[in-house]
Amino acid sequence: MAPGAELRAWGAREDALLEAGDLDAAVELNVDTWLGLEAGEAARALVRDGQRRAFDLQLAAPRRTTPSPPRSPARTSPGSGSPPSSPPAPTT
């Protein structure tokens, strides 16, 4: 299911705030979006703290410009999965 227009608009607003470096406004956008009017200040503070931590971690992570291609399993020829044989024991 594709996101609706309202969710896309919220995402665009959050992206714009983060790109502008306005983390406080991005946090408040999330708090206001995801909590109803009946949420108390304790709940709002908890979500606010968690969302700020999430943004701090995301922004500190190295950015990738392109996704890594999936790794394919190493191909082996039949019988190559067995451990190498040990060298012959020395004779005296």
Query: Angle at Cα 13 formed by Cα 42 and Cα 30, nearest 5°?
Result: 15
Q: How confident is the model at residue 63 (pLDDT cuts 50, 70, 90)?
A: confident
Taking residue 77's Cβ as centre, other Cβ atoms within 10 Å add up to: 6
Q: Structural domain boundaries of the chain?
A: 5-60
Q: Report if pTM > 0.75.
A: no
Residue 31's pLDDT is: 95
For tokens 């500190």, name the residue: 60
Contact indicator for 27, 55 with CB cutoff of 8 Å = yes
pLDDT at 92: 58
User: Residue 13: which residues within 8 A CB-CB, separation 6 or more?
Assistant: 29
Distance CA 75, CA 62 (A): 31
